[in-house]
Amino acid sequence: MTALKHGASLVWGPEIVDKAILHTERVVDRTYSTSARPPTHSYPAHTGVVSYHGKTRAIFTTHPIEKPYLIYQIGSASPELAVQAAKTVVQDVSGIDLNCGCPKPFSTHSGMGAALLTNPDLLCAILTALRRELPPQITVSAKIRLLPTQEETKKLVERIIRTGVSALTVHCRTRNMRQREAAVVNRLGDIVQFVQGLGVDIAVIENGDCKGWEDAKRVKRLTGRCDAWMHPRLTVSPGASSVMIATAAESNPTCFSSTPLIDVETTLIPSYLRLVSQRSNAHVPSHLMHPQSRYLDNHWALTKFCVSQFKAPRTERSKTEAHRFKTHIVAAKGYDDLTELVGEWTGEKDFAETVSTIQTRRPRLLTIDDLPTDLAASAKNGTPESEAEDALEEELRPVSTPSERPNPELPSLWAPLGPSTLLRMPLPAVITGSDAITPSPTPRAVSPRRS
């Protein structure tokens, strides 16, 4: 919701394993209405939040204001289970996305995620089933990683788009590549041209190493192609249809804006906490609870994980003050421990502002100038045109996956980040009592400094 408020065109949920959503209970916090009468002590406010509750907590939570923009991301290795999971949530989302790129063991050990890259028959069978069984207004899409060679990637891409998907997201890393390694964005340009040549009108979305709205223009230019080398003003054909931002959005969900927030300790975190929290009063009956104590009721552990990752340039606080602020959040046991940081718990005002912004925003097109900015600057400074063109050609030259990376690997105990022995193989939920439904790691605690 925060990302949508600050300019995101669409939002994807985390990868949720198909079985995890099948036995949940859908619970709605009454009916949300912008025209509802003002809440009072005897008539509490209701947010309209939709929660799919598992045994111990909500597996998936959303709000009606998100529905036109929300894509539900499934982890699956079964066409039947994928369809059942999609039908479970279809009334609350606008699209279903099959994750075919997650390299983590919780996903690959069951044949899901990046394991599907080595089983294209199953991958395409799942997408075909989803497209056949879901209503036409619900989009079906997939997210993959690059294969070792461009030819292999193109073959897989062609098979995927022939299933009837509306969009394809390509994470510009191979299965073995980790986040610390630079995404091979230049490889996507050729794939975009290939899809256009097939005459299929689908969106090709880039994922990997984009830091925000302005940086997305760089990505779009890198995935385009220069067509008129002899013209004094080089033209660049449209590249990727859009850009998916993940890591940077976890650090600052306002990165989708052309002017993302800075000093998040004061500009973002307090309002975010007020928006997602529910401060309960044990001595007050729920039906008489003050309306400003009932908000989106996000699970405390999830809120703490998200907020602990927020960071942005600072102009108001020193590094020591920012560390002390983060330490306070990490040490907190619940929302009540953060009153000193948040101040008044007036979450309804933040909620109303967010809803209003989303409802009144206008769509933006990700475009690039005819002449890349660095080339324009070179021309302005008198740099010979040939040198400027050589520089641009070097930047746009495709980058291949290193030859020593023969991936993707077949699913095995020795897959990237996989268990080293059978004894370390993840146990099924029926034994452990819990199910790993998201690849998000547990945040590392920030230890207070000792004097």
- What average pLDDT score do residues 269-277 get? 85
CA dist 364 and 6 (Å) reads 12
- What average pLDDT score do residues 312-319 get? 90
289: phi then psi, degrees, rounded to nearest 5: -65, 140
- The pLDDT, as a whole number, for residue 278 is 52
Any idea what DSSP says for residue 401? P
Q: How far is CA 317 from CA 36, 89, 131, 191, 291, in A?
A: 41, 43, 51, 45, 33
The yes-or-no verdict on residue 11 having pLDDT over 50 is yes
- Cβ pair 424, 417 in contact under 8 A: no
Q: For the chain, list the domains and their CATH numbers.
A: 2-33+47-260+399-432 (3.20.20.70), 264-360 (no CATH)
Band (pLDDT 50/70/90 cuts) for residue 244 is very high
Instruction: Name the more confident of 413 and 297.
Output: 297
The yes-or-no verdict on residue 334 having pLDDT over 90 is no
CA dist 130 and 32 (Å) reads 30
Over residues 158-204, the pLDDT tens digits come to: 999 999 999 999 999 999 988 889 999 999 999 999 999 999 989 99
Place of tokens 């994470």: 171
Please state, rounded to an integer, the average pLDDT across all residues of the chain. Answer: 79
- When mean pLDDT is compared over 85-94, 322-331, 421-430, the highest value belongs to 85-94
Q: Which residues are catalytic?
A: 102
The yes-or-no verdict on residue 290 having pLDDT over 70 is no
Residues in the chain: 451
With H, G, I as helix, E, B as strand and everything else as coil, classify residue 265: helix
Q: Within a 10 A sphere around the Cβ of 35, how many other Cβ atoms?
A: 4
- What average pLDDT score do residues 147-159 get? 96
- The pLDDT, as a whole number, for residue 363 is 80
With H, G, I as helix, E, B as strand and everything else as coil, classify residue 75: strand
The yes-or-no verdict on residue 272 having pLDDT over 80 is yes
- What average pLDDT score do residues 289-297 get? 44
Over residues 347-372, the pLDDT tens digits come to: 788 888 899 999 998 888 777 654 44
Over residues 387-412, the pLDDT tens digits come to: 555 555 555 444 445 545 444 443 34
- What average pLDDT score do residues 248-268 get? 94
Band (pLDDT 50/70/90 cuts) for residue 300 is confident
Band (pLDDT 50/70/90 cuts) for residue 335 is confident
98: phi then psi, degrees, rounded to nearest 5: -90, 120
Percentage of residues in the chain having pLDDT higher than 70: 70
Place of tokens 């002390």: 324
CA dist 260 and 248 (Å) reads 11
Give the ranges where 104-212 is alpha helix by DSSP (H).
105-108, 120-133, 150-161, 186-197
The yes-or-no verdict on residue 265 having pLDDT over 80 is yes
Q: CA neighbours within 13 Å on the CB side: how many for 323?
A: 7
- What average pLDDT score do residues 1-30 get? 93
β-pairing, 242-244 vs 203-207, is: parallel
The yes-or-no verdict on residue 112 having pLDDT over 50 is yes
- What average pLDDT score do residues 242-258 get? 94
- What average pLDDT score do residues 242-264 get? 94
- The pLDDT, as a whole number, for residue 179 is 84
- The pLDDT, as a whole number, for residue 235 is 43
Any idea what DSSP says for residue 184? -
CA dist 113 and 437 (Å) reads 12
- The pLDDT, as a whole number, for residue 280 is 41
- What average pLDDT score do residues 26-30 get? 85
Band (pLDDT 50/70/90 cuts) for residue 298 is confident
Band (pLDDT 50/70/90 cuts) for residue 292 is very low
